[in-house]
Structure 1
């Protein structure tokens, strides 16, 4: 295949993006044409190894011999290879219809930190940084396709914050992409300083309890979702990206689910959903059964529960509300305290609180067990945004149960499901079961 055909092919692959940079070198009857992706290459190496020698050498033949002698030189064998290498951080040089590939990939892995929120035992622990170009480089390092498109918006009248929209133009959900672009164009705010702010501004349902965009710090999770047709938004100066559209089941999965075998992954997911229901329903069940329908328990268990509440001056609802309130205070304190003392302070505080309230007969022993189980189950939810939501919904269901009993808890759960059915994320039904197997195959095919 001729060099002209390869160049036409490359330009065709990048025609809908602004990522491909074309630079012309022309000096003293010497001509060269450079093609590269700016966010992927080391610009200092480009200047030192290519541009400077071009102006210093006597003729084109000498410069061609110099390029071939470079250890970063790679021969062009096909148009697909040329596109793949350009998206992998190589620079394509055209001299007298001859093509040369020089590897000038920018390595930024040493400039990023490790994950602190979405930690895993298996797989990569590289996290996004606060530099936009570094983050784009990380994503392109994992995603070697010319169809990967990046569009830039500048928002915020005061701080002029740069926002990158990243998607695969061949796999993207076009309806969601149009909605996101339209909302970004209509966005009119003086200051946008964080991804969470951008999340609120892009959602029509700002007062919705459940999040409609997934926040992540993991480049591998971003790549996985882009391969599944989703859109990633990265704000300059933020180490977390937004992924849309996001359905409910996205917030209950981790990247580690893909690294385990089928049975281990299935067991972990069942455990996670069991923890979700325990965290959501256990306080309401305790109040509904002890206050309205104790006959639900076996006789021995009912007597044990009644015996543990001897001397407690409050109703079961006040007892649960009292303990949940202090549990929420401990959780909030663990976030706000310095890391050096947060674990010790909250652990000691929880132990003292649990033993003190039972000795003072302000709460039963079973209530301490229930609150501990609820707290542990809350930590099983992998995404913090959903965990915060469950903490609020749990209190709403508790209030309904305290008035209407177990029937109120059942109706409240039905109402929650109806609310989730009503929600959507940029045109996608919120309870839609995403086809992870398809996304996984797409990701593997592009790796």
Structure 2
């Protein structure tokens, strides 16, 4: 085996197997050579017009090589590692009989990108995934220039025939999880698949589950971070969101801003989110339990103040809480469905008018307005939206238990929720596992 063949085999071993790796042989009556490049980060028009067409117009290899070297982006590699790094940056490796040339053909699809709408950040990258899977692959490849990154493509959906890609780092990924995922994908038989959230439901063991076991994100930086930590990314054509798996509970309460801020600031923000989680879950149920069953826990002054604010309320505390939480859910849903130009204004004004009118009419207490506002604000602290919906629903079972058993019911409800979370698995990974990442 000559030196060029050894170099070629070394590059193929490092880069493949990957569905976006192109290895092509070109032959003419006078010469023969091979091309090696990554399709998602190279411009096919440049390759066709600057390499392939001139190849068939040249009479010999020397003239073709001199023609290529006349381009400013073409050069001979210093080593195999240099060849590998440049291929990962959008170069085309042109393999002659006894040497290699690297030709600059990178294509950055920045025009098709937009800013993140759901997971906003202050100091980090602002771009989000698009609905075109090739653009998303281009974005990942340019930001994660590691030769162990693998891309596997397949079609899913009998009628839609949607393109689906798996991305992972072959050196870090848990291959048992990867094999299990591939088996589950092969077992999926559906007609249409339009969103990764549909795929999430199809891949989940439990038919009815409340807590998400995969991360649904629109941020490329979050996807790249999780690839480097050994997780698998699922991309689907036609949606700007990707799935990250496996995922544990603590992943849903970590934002990308935690990495971009100073370390102490990041820890403070994480603690703040868990405080918000506790408030959004416990506060409504605790209000019901303490006002209806266990008022002795309060100081006398606070107990009298709450009792005075509820003096005109004609129904029990749990009815008051359920009524206000229901109105809050209606306002949140209306803010999503209304046109953006009027949505925020209509819901803000509606909330103020309803709260003030209900308080003046004696239908709810003043402290109830404070509790509902705190719960609403705490719900929006969750960085990943799918977990926010789960926590919005979990309040209601706790309120019902507190209305029947007081503080005891609240404690039993929290213990039951923790037991349920402990039993959950995300492709074999315990849901409440704290240290999942591979370093």
TM-score scaled to structure 1, two decimals? 0.96
Task: Tell me the CA shift for residue 163 of structure 1.
Answer: 0.8
Secondary structure of residue in 2 paired with 1:63 = helix
Q: Distance in 2 between matches of 1:329 and 1:280?
A: 18
Report if the CA contact (8 A) 1:397-1:412 is conserved.
yes
Residue in 2 that maps onto 1:129? 130
Residue in 2 that maps onto 1:221? 222
Structure 1 position 299 matched with structure 2 position 296:
no
Q: Distance in 2 between matches of 1:353 and 1:20?
A: 59
Residue in 2 that maps onto 1:200? 201
Task: Tell me the CA shift for residue 393 of structure 1.
Answer: 0.7
Q: Deviations over 1:315-360 (max 9, x none)?
A: 1110011100000000000111111111100100110011000001
Unaligned segments of structure 1, at least 5 residues: 440-447
Task: Tell me the CA shift for residue 136 of structure 1.
Answer: 0.8
Q: Deviations over 1:371-409 (max 9, x none)?
A: 000000111111111110011111110011100100010
Q: Deviations over 1:77-106 (max 9, x none)?
A: 111221221122110001231211111111
Residue in 2 that maps onto 1:12? 13
Report if the CA contact (8 A) 1:30-1:60 is conserved.
yes
Report if the CA contact (8 A) 2:19-2:153 is conserved.
no
TM-score scaled to structure 2, two decimals? 0.98
Report if the CA contact (8 A) 1:175-1:427 is conserved.
no
Q: Deviations over 1:179-217 (max 9, x none)?
A: 111100001111111111111001111311100110000
Pairwise CA RMSD: 1.2
Q: Which deviates the most, 173-182 or 11-20?
A: 11-20
Task: Tell me the CA shift for residue 145 of structure 1.
Answer: 1.4
Q: Distance in 1 between matches of 2:259 and 2:7?
A: 37
Q: Distance in 2 between matches of 1:324 and 1:293?
A: 22
Q: Distance in 1 between matches of 2:17 and 2:427?
A: 23
Q: Distance in 2 between matches of 1:384 and 1:259?
A: 20
Report if the CA contact (8 A) 2:114-2:129 is conserved.
yes
Structure 1 residues 330-345: aligned runs within 5 Å = 330-345=331-346
Residue in 1 that maps onto 2:172? 171
Residue in 1 that maps onto 2:280? 279
Task: Tell me the CA shift for residue 15 of structure 1.
Answer: 4.0
Q: Distance in 2 between matches of 1:147 and 1:319?
A: 57
Q: Distance in 2 between matches of 1:286 and 1:7?
A: 70
Secondary structure of residue in 2 paired with 1:22 = strand
Q: Distance in 2 between matches of 1:121 and 1:352?
A: 33
Q: Distance in 1 between matches of 2:55 and 2:156?
A: 40
Secondary structure of residue in 1 paired with 2:165 = strand
Residue in 1 that maps onto 2:420? 419
Q: Distance in 2 between matches of 1:113 and 1:206?
A: 35
Task: Tell me the CA shift for residue 435 of structure 1.
Answer: 4.9
Secondary structure of residue in 2 paired with 1:361 = coil
Aligned residues: 438
Secondary structure of residue in 2 paired with 1:110 = coil
Structure 1 position 82 matched with structure 2 position 83:
yes
Structure 1 residues 40-439: aligned runs within 5 Å = 40-435=41-436, 439=439
Q: Distance in 2 between matches of 1:42 and 1:283?
A: 57
Q: Which deviates the most, 173-182 or 278-287?
A: 173-182
Report if the CA contact (8 A) 2:30-2:59 is conserved.
no
Residue in 2 that maps onto 1:444? none
Q: Distance in 1 between matches of 2:93 and 2:342?
A: 54
Report if the CA contact (8 A) 1:21-1:38 is conserved.
yes
Q: Deviations over 1:157-186 (max 9, x none)?
A: 111111101111111012211111110000
Please list every run of at least 4 consecutive aligned residues from structure 1 whose deviation after the TM superposition is greater than 4 angstroms.
none
Report if the CA contact (8 A) 1:131-1:236 is conserved.
yes
Q: Distance in 2 between matches of 1:245 and 1:263?
A: 27
Q: Distance in 1 between matches of 2:134 and 2:37?
A: 15
